[in-house]
Amino acid sequence: MGDALVVNGISKQYSGVQAVADASFSVQPGEVHGLVGPNGAGKSTALGILSGFIPPDAGSITYRDRELVGTVPDKLVRAGIARTFQEPSPIAGLTVLENVLTGLHIQGHAGTLRAAVRSPMLRSEEKRLKAEALRLLGSVGLADRASADAGDLSFGELRYLEVIRCLGTGATMLLLDEPAAGMGKTETERLTALIDEVRKQGRGVLLVDHDMGFIFGLCDAITVMNAGRVIADGTPEEIENSEAVREAYLGGSAGNHGAGKAGAQ
């Protein structure tokens, strides 16, 4: 489990309400792992804890055998864990390309002195990072929008940009918060292909989404939460056949992904 993201017994309470209660699961490298559940199940709180924005009341989170509880978000990124958010938020006033480069510069190796004197190493690095940014944008059909103001992108394009910025950090464990929300069929298919490529690279993905067709079609494993607790954890087939899941989330109908999607809205 050394390279896995391991969540062990995390809990969080707000004003007497148990948002997350003793939740445990793990995400392996090269795995797309779904985290699902009805509204109010505790998914968002769990994701906030994993990404360092919410301190847990109890529990442990390790990645590559390193304890992460108490680590601030920017240091988590440098440790290899990056997340997206439900509401895309491009950096105002920057182009699409510049937004991606802000993430890629975390991977940069040129030092402050070299940057000040514009050394050949810095120029070479900038060229490399720009090429990588354009490659990432091309993977979701945004290369031709590279020079556009990021604020002019459509909602679906902004969601792509959010995922691309996350990838650009070089993170090896991605936490994606409802990346397909509001996307049409073609946009979702392109996002699916991108996440599948991330999996092939050996990176882990924790995927939170309400679209059960998207989740079941893409994930290797799924963890289901309800009322703050993990009620099921297993393969898509095991989750689909779980009575507890059908009662809590899938509307009591096994084998009907559409019912799950409808129940999640």
Q: Which domains does the chain have, with CATH numbers?
A: 5-90+153-264 (3.40.50.300)
pLDDT at 118: 53
pLDDT at 86: 85
pLDDT at 249: 62
pLDDT tens-digit map of 206-217: 999 988 899 999
pLDDT at 103: 75
Report the predicted TM-score, pTM, of the whole model to 2 decimal places.
0.84
Q: Two tokens at 126?
A: 């900038």
Q: Give pLDDT < 70 ranges for the chain.
A: 1-2, 105-122, 249-265
CA dihedral 86, 237, 30, 218 (to 10 degrees): -50
Task: From 197, 143, 142, select the one nearest 167 (Cα to Cα).
Answer: 197
pLDDT at 255: 45
pLDDT at 120: 66
pLDDT at 124: 78
pLDDT at 92: 80
Quickly count: other Cβ atoms within 10 Å of residue 251's Cβ.
16
Residues recorded for the chain: 265
pLDDT at 198: 92
